[in-house]
Amino acid sequence: MKKWILAAAISIAISGCAHEATTSSSLPDGVTLLETVQASDAIGIPYKKYQLENGLTVILHQDSSDPLVHVDVTYHVGSAREVAGRSGFAHLFEHMMFQGSQNVGDEQHFKVITEAGGTLNGTTNTDRTNYFETVPSNQLEKMLWLESDRMGFLLPALTSEKFEVQRETVKNERAQRIDNQPYGRLNERFNQAMFPAGHPYSWPVIGWPEDLERATVDDVRNFFKRWYGPNNATLTIGGDFDEVQTLAMVNKYFGELARGPEVNADPKTPVSLDKTRYISMEDKVHLPLVYMGFPTVYARHQDEAALDLLANILGGGKTSLLYKNLVKDGFAVQASVGHPCQELSCRLTLFALANPASGANLADLEQKITDSIAEFEQRGVTDDDLQKVKVQFESDTIYGMQSVKGKVSTLAYNQTFFDNPNMVASDLERYASVTKEDVMRVFNKYIKDKPMVVMSVVPEGAKQLIAKPDNFTPTMLPIAEEAVTGTENVRQITSSFDRTVMPKVGDAPVLKVPQLWTASLANGIEVMGTESNETPTVELLIYLEGGNRLPEMDKAGLASITASMLNESTEKRTTEELAGALEMLGSRISFGASATQSYIQVSSLTENLTPTLAILQEKLFSPAFAEADFERLKQQEIQGLQHQESDPNFLASRGFSSLLYGDDSHLSANAGGTLETVSGLTLDDVKQFYQQQYKAGNAQMVVVSDLNQQEIMPSLAVFEQWQGQTNEPMALPPLPKLAGGTIYIIDKPDAAQSVIKMGKRALPYDATGNYFKAFLMNYPLGGAFNSRINLNLREDKGYTYGARTGFNGNDLTGRFEASASVRSDVTAESVTEFINEIKQFQKDGMTEEELAFMRSSISQGKALDYETPYQKAGFMRIIQRYKLADDFTEQQADIVENITAKELNQLAAEQLKLSEMIIVIVGDKQAISPKLEALGYPIKVIK
């Protein structure tokens, strides 16, 4: 494919060579330029790399295509820096770093960035913790002030009270993401068997519950001292900024921070197993699962690329061996192979979800996987195997860099772990140079006849389904006496300037709203598009009005299964042949369906658009609708629906929608249908729905590309053969009367958390009327991280990992919904807090301060709305579907600027009446009922 630089042109400020920049008098004292990478013929990201005297690495990547900047601070510390019995510190510290610092008040970090119109987050894994924010470009200095203050001045603000609240928040996060999720504990159990006792990957990133309990605030203080110094961090900035000015600001805020203890890389010791280890666990799941793994190498080892290719051949999609032998033949609902790599170790993992229709014995499934591995040895590696994986890697690299955040994340990752941000081109070369012999060599070295870990996860009470009896028990090491060592010489500095003064910001950047064009194909299909030169790609979305709203209620799920059938074989080629053809192009075509529409999503490199659209034509106009495909997909859909019955969030959403809209309404129907409706579907139903739904009269198109209108419209002319008239919209049944003030319980025995949803029917979508104004009204109540409800339930009380409220609507109706997953023992208390917060807001409304916060956040946040092709496509789809004026965002901006607190508070009084709201709770009925009954509300148990 053609070579292409993944960035806008570098500005004059960084266009000089490294020598010229190094001797420039504009470089601040204490800042050293280490490297300059400019645009070239190879795929890559232009940047400059600097270092401060205290060891902080600074990477600057300029991209003026959008008026925003993305700031990333990555610390080379993750759970691998912890010790036995003291797990969870790195992740806990991710939370603590948002709790204010010496010069930034409690809860102010989120407030400052949100008010600036930005987004932010932090993540932790085994090897690093990163904090990042995307903001309008005029807010950059404020971000540097915030990040530097928590790097250098966190400890004076770290109190026991904050520590206890965040420990509870982490425990809630663990309950929500792990303990209360089907298969949630799989990875932590598997890693205990895969890695030796004491290996830094043998404990979970989030920590063992007992380790979190024994942690002290002094442990946390020492963890910060040991690992959060500037010499263990990389600051990466990408976007629209002035380089000289930015370097001066970086040096001002970070340059005087004290260097931390020296940090050495952990050894990359090979992991080996003495024999195949079998482990198992019972879980609240429907489908038995077998998960197998072989230890291999480590990230960027010379064998990593060949192992990645091996994983793709074995189980990387519909052309893989596991798909053919397990999924296609009906033994598994899902099966795949991966080769996840971390700094210290990689592993090749294989998993399969058993299909009960073919017997759910995991010993048989393990044998099928083993037979597939043996088949690979006999089959070998083909030229197509190598070509498709190499093309996929190159296209994924380009797709992954359609945003400044994607490019910044790549630079930060490569610098943190390999001391070299400039690895995009070398990575592509690494994969391009893999040979058939390389793949067979790594297969023989790491996989063939090698011991592995085999984990069985089976439904409670179904131990007889495991692959083999357990033969491994993890060794429990003594708890380390000290959680952290090496902090003796850490010092606190006194700043040379007043850090309590928040930096002022410059003028707001000029908003770059996409320039749109509209056209029609000869058959009347409307097309809306925009040109985007960030990457040489095309994003085409075709929407067809109807979806799950189109068939009768007794055929709910038909839209979804028809879309799935269109992802399968055609009259000319098999599913596998089509998948292989797309892989060779680095393209993606996906049919899907939602509650109100069916859709087709196409992603293609621009140079491969014509053959990609030829495949789409084949799939759209000549589907095979093979009986074997239908029976397999139907069985998968049924098993997926049964699996959802173990997901508390699904149960809550289904129960809430049914109460709001009635069981006989399309508005409450799950897009995937029900066990009863899907079981009754036939292939003839699919064929009839295809004729009804996939017609030109139902279709509209949105396209984002580096091609202009005149260049891309001829390519879309292939759809002019499409015919058919628009369907008449379906009439909906009358809406049920809500029993406001009633609590409905859906029993989930032994649930680790309770899922709460409360709300009412509300306004249908509109872009500039009361629906939009309700969004503004709700913002300080539950629409932002630092909203009243989230600060109450998460930050003040530690009841939940997150709580929110919001209005959601379409062209027919809408809803107001408040939701949270909370600790089971505080279910009633959480309901009380929701009620009190909504009641007070409905009565008194927002304050003038909250109004100003909302205005600032929403108006400035518009600078972030149109960066990626996907964002641009979503923006156009709203205009297209709801027939909005192209300048509707200007009308919204005028509303945000001029609406009064009185008008918004009147809307709150009308829309937030608690007497009209119902409450749905999914949890352990026996445990939560006594306290709920004491609240005095009517309670009903539903299924």
For 477-508, write each residue's pLDDT tens digit: 899 888 888 777 777 788 999 999 999 988 88
Burial class, 187, CB count within 10 angstroms (exposed 0-12 / middle 13-18 / buried 19+): middle
pLDDT value for 11? 28
Of the candidates 801, 864, 826, 752, the residue with the CA atom closest to the CA atom of residue 94 = 801
3-state secondary structure of 492: coil
Angstrom distance (rounded) from CA 587 to CA 612? 7
This model's pTM is above 0.85: yes
3-state SS track over 430-479: HHHCCCHHHHHHHHHHHHCCCCCEEEEEEECCCHHHCCCCCCCCCCCCCC
pLDDT value for 483? 82
Burial class, 934, CB count within 10 angstroms (exposed 0-12 / middle 13-18 / buried 19+): exposed
CATH of domain 277-465: 3.30.830.10
pLDDT value for 207? 92
Continuous H helices in 791-937? 827-844, 848-861, 869-882, 888-898, 901-911, 925-934
Average pLDDT, the chain: 92
Angstrom distance (rounded) from CA 246 to CA 14? 12
Angstrom distance (rounded) from CA 707 to CA 606? 8
Q: Which of 3.30.830.10, 3.30.70.560, 3.40.50.10540, 2.60.40.3080 is the CATH number of 516-721? A: 3.30.830.10
Give 421-479 pLDDT, tens digit per residue.
Answer: 999 989 999 999 999 999 999 999 999 999 999 999 999 999 999 999 999 999 988 99
Could you give the angle at which helices 901-911 and 770-778 cross, rounded to 10 degrees? 100
pLDDT exceeds 60 at position 802: yes
Q: What is the gyration radius of the CA atoms in the chain, in angstroms? A: 28
- Looking at residues 699-723, what average pLDDT do you find? 96
CATH of domain 12-254: 3.30.830.10
Give 769-791 pLDDT, tens digit per residue.
Answer: 999 999 999 999 999 999 999 99
Rounded to 5 degrees, φ, ψ at 50 are -125, 165
Whether residue 430 contacts residue 414, with contact meaning beta carbons closer than 8 Å, is answered with no
Give the pLDDT band of residue 411 (cuts 50, 70, 90).
very high
Give 652-702 pLDDT, tens digit per residue.
Answer: 999 999 999 998 888 888 888 999 999 999 999 999 999 999 999 999 999
pLDDT exceeds 70 at position 17: no
Fold of the domain spanning 743-942: Cytochrome Bc1 Complex; Chain A, domain 1 (3.30.830)
Angstrom distance (rounded) from CA 605 to CA 627? 33
Give 561-593 pLDDT, tens digit per residue.
Answer: 999 999 999 999 999 999 999 999 999 999 999
**Left (φ > 0), alpha (ψ -120 to 50) or beta: where does 137 sit?**
alpha
Give 495-546 pLDDT, tens digit per residue.
Answer: 999 999 999 988 888 877 889 999 999 999 999 999 998 889 999 999 999 9
- Looking at residues 819-844, what average pLDDT do you find? 96
Angstrom distance (rounded) from CA 666 to CA 601? 24
Continuous H helices in 293-423? 304-315, 321-322, 362-379, 383-399, 404-418
Structure-token match 């179904």, residue found: 462
The one-letter code for the residue type at 192 is: Q
Give the pLDDT band of residue 185 (cuts 50, 70, 90).
very high
Q: Which long-range contacts (CB under 8 A, 24 or more apart) does 849-856 make?
A: 850/779, 850/780, 851/901, 851/904, 853/111, 853/114, 853/115, 853/779, 853/780, 854/776, 854/779, 854/780, 854/896, 855/896, 855/897, 856/115, 856/116, 856/117
pLDDT value for 863? 81
pLDDT value for 60? 98
pLDDT exceeds 60 at position 363: yes
pLDDT value for 18? 36
Whether residue 332 contacts residue 315, with contact meaning beta carbons closer than 8 Å, is answered with no
Angstrom distance (rounded) from CA 590 to CA 719? 17
Q: Which helix (H) or strand (E) holds 640?
A: helix 627-644
Give 283-339 pLDDT, tens digit per residue.
Answer: 989 899 999 999 999 999 999 999 999 999 999 989 999 999 999 988 999 999 999
Give 866-918 pLDDT, tens digit per residue.
Answer: 888 888 999 999 999 999 998 899 999 999 999 999 999 999 999 999 999 99
Give 62-101 pLDDT, tens digit per residue.
Answer: 998 889 999 999 999 999 999 999 999 899 988 888 889 9
Q: Which long-range contacts (CB under 8 A, 24 or more apart) does 662-666 make?
A: 662/733, 662/734, 662/735, 662/736, 664/553, 664/733, 665/553, 665/732, 665/733, 665/735, 666/548, 666/549, 666/553, 666/556, 666/595, 666/730, 666/732
Angstrom distance (rounded) from CA 291 to CA 121? 31
When mean pLDDT is compared across 6-20, 109-123, 442-456, 623-637, the lowest value belongs to 6-20
pLDDT exceeds 80 at position 16: no
pLDDT value for 13? 28
Give the pLDDT band of residue 42 (cuts 50, 70, 90).
low
Residue 128: HSE in the Cβ half-sphere, 13 Å Cα cutoff: 22
Structure tokens at 883: 């027939």
Angstrom distance (rounded) from CA 586 to CA 532? 19
The one-letter code for the residue type at 76 is: H
pLDDT value for 485? 82
Domains 12-254 and 743-942 share a fold: yes
pLDDT value for 171? 87
Whether residue 808 contacts residue 814, with contact meaning beta carbons closer than 8 Å, is answered with yes
- Looking at residues 919-930, what average pLDDT do you find? 96
Highest mean pLDDT among 51-65, 165-179, 349-363: 51-65
pLDDT value for 25? 53
Give 242-287 pLDDT, tens digit per residue.
Answer: 999 999 999 999 999 999 999 998 889 889 999 999 999 999 898 9
Angstrom distance (rounded) from CA 860 to CA 133? 14
Q: Interior CA angle at 150 toward 148 and 152, to 5°?
A: 65
pLDDT value for 23? 44
Query: Which of 864 and 208 is assigned the larger pLDDT?
Result: 208
Of the candidates 307, 298, 268, the residue with the CA atom closest to the CA atom of residue 431 = 307
Q: Where are the domains of the chain?
A: 12-254, 277-465, 516-721, 743-942
pLDDT value for 542? 97
Structure tokens at 456: 């069985």
